[in-house]
Amino acid sequence: MDTDNLPPPVTDSSEKDVIILREMLGIGDDYVSGSRLAELLGISRVAVWSYMEKMRSQGFDFEAIRSKGYRLTRQPSLLNEALVKASLPRSANGLRIIVLEETDSTNSEAERLLAMSEDAPFAVFSHKQTEGRGRLGRSWHSPPNGNLYMSFGFRPNVSPSRLASFTLWMGINLCECINAFCQVASKLKWPNDLQIEGKKVAGILTEARMDADQTRELVLGVGLNVNGKAEDWPEALKESATSIFQETDQQTNLNRLCAALCGRITLAYEQFLEDKHRSELINRWPQYDSLKDQSVSLLQGEARISGIARGIDSQGALIVEGEDGSKFHVRAGEVTLEK
C-alpha cells in the first residue's frame, strides 16, 4: 500500500503538545520559530511558551534562541502519549492511542472499550499491569517502566474461520518490525511467542468476541520485554526470558518503537481484512519459524503428538511429521507445546 500520499495522522485539535512535537521531530536538529508554532496552533506566542513549560514537567526540554526559535533537546524515556502520537507513521493514520499509568490488563481495558462502543481501531498501552494475562490462564509479569504492554482493539466483522492465521500473521509482522528497529533476530515460536536465541522476548494474547458467524470484537495483546533487566525478573523467568536490552546492551527508545509497531500492526491488520495475507504468511514463515525441523511434543487433549515440526499449513496449523512419515496438522488453542 502506498502510504506517502495519505494526510497526516488525525490529531484532536486540543492536542497542542502533539502538534508542537510533530513539528519539532520533523525538523530534526533545526529550530522551529515561535511564530510558526503560534500559527500552527492558532494561539499567541506567549501561549506557545506556556505549553512548552507544561511539557517540560513531563520530561521534555527545549532550547530557545531569540533569533531562531525552539529546538527539542530532551524527550522522556518512558512511554508518553503525545510523543507516541507525534511519532506515528502515516500508516497508523486514524489509530487512536491511549496511554495509561496503570491498568489491570490492557487486553481487559481494550475489551471494556470495545464493549462501550469505542471507535476502533485503537491501541491501549500501560506503564504497568496489575493483572497481566498470558495464554492458558497464565499471568504476564508486568512491572512498570521499560517494557511494552499493549492491546489493539478491532471490529473486523469477518468469519471466525479467518482468525486461524491472525496471530501468526501479526506475529511475523511484529518480528520484522522489532528486528528492523532494534537490530535483533527475533523468531516466532508457534503459535504466539517471540524468541531471541531461544529465549522469550514477547508473547501474544489474541482474544475475540464472536457471534454465530462473525468476529465482532478482536483484541491483539502484546507484551514485549524492551528495556527490562534480567536481575529484576522473578527467578522462574531468568532462564527462559530475555529483553531487547539483554540482547543488545542498549536502551531502546520506547516511544519510537511503540509508534513503529502501531504503524506495522495497522498495515498488517488492513492486509488481514483484505484477506491478502495468506500467501505472504506462508512465504515469510520459514524465515521466522523457530521450530523449523525441530523435535516437538504437544498435548492435544489427552493425546501426545511427537515428531518433527515442518512449518505451517495455509490455515496456520503446525505440521508435525511423525516417525512413520505421517503428518499431523495441529491447531493453536488445542495444544500445549512442550519444547
Of the pair 134, 160, the CB lying nearest ligand BTN is at 134
Q: Which is nearer to ligand BTN, 41 or 337 (CB)?
A: 337
- Closest CB 65 distance from ligand BTN, rounded Å: 42
CB 234 within 8 A of CB 141: yes
Cβ neighbours of residue 223 closer than 8 Å, sequence gap 6 or more: 132, 134, 140, 142, 147, 148, 149, 202, 203, 205
Pick 19 or 150: Cβ nearer ligand BTN = 150
Burial readout 81-114 (b: 16 or more C-beta within 10 A, e: otherwise)? bbbbbbbbbebbeebbbbbbeebebbbbbbbebb
Q: Which is nearer to ligand BTN, 46 or 136 (CB)?
A: 136
DSSP labels for 268-323? HHHHHHTT--HHHHHHHHHHHBTTTT-EEEEEETTEEEEEEEEEE-TTSPEEEE-T
E strand or H helix that includes residue 65: strand 61-65
Using Cβ positions, the residue closest to ligand BTN within the complex turns out to be: 203
Exposed e or buried b per residue across 154-171, where buried means at least 16 C-beta atoms within 10 angstroms of its C-beta: bbbebeeeebbbbbbbbb
- Look up cell 504476564; give the residue: 140
CB of 261 to ligand BTN, least distance (A): 12
Q: Which three cell numbers stand for residue 195?
A: 524468541
Minimum CB distance to ligand BTN, residue 276 (Å): 26
Q: Which residues bind ligand BTN (CB under 6 A)?
A: 105-107, 129, 132-135, 138, 140, 149-151, 192-193, 203-205, 221-223
> In the complex with ligand BTN, which residue's Cβ is closer, 139 or 315?
139
Dist. CA 292–CA 309, nearest whole Å: 6
- Identify which of residues 133 and 310 has a Cβ nearer to ligand BTN in the complex: 133
Residue type at 297 in one-letter notation: S
Taking the complex as a whole, the smallest distance from the CB of residue 203 to ligand BTN amounts, in Å, to: 2
Least distance in angstroms from the C-beta of 142 to ligand BTN: 6
Identify which of 202, 190, 210 has the alpha carbon closest to the alpha carbon of residue 333. 190
- Write down the least CB distance from residue 139 to ligand BTN, Å: 8
Asked if the bond preceding 121 is cis, omega within 30° of 0, the reply is yes
**CB closer to ligand BTN out of 193 and 289:** 193
Compute the least distance from the CB of residue 135 to ligand BTN, in Å. 4
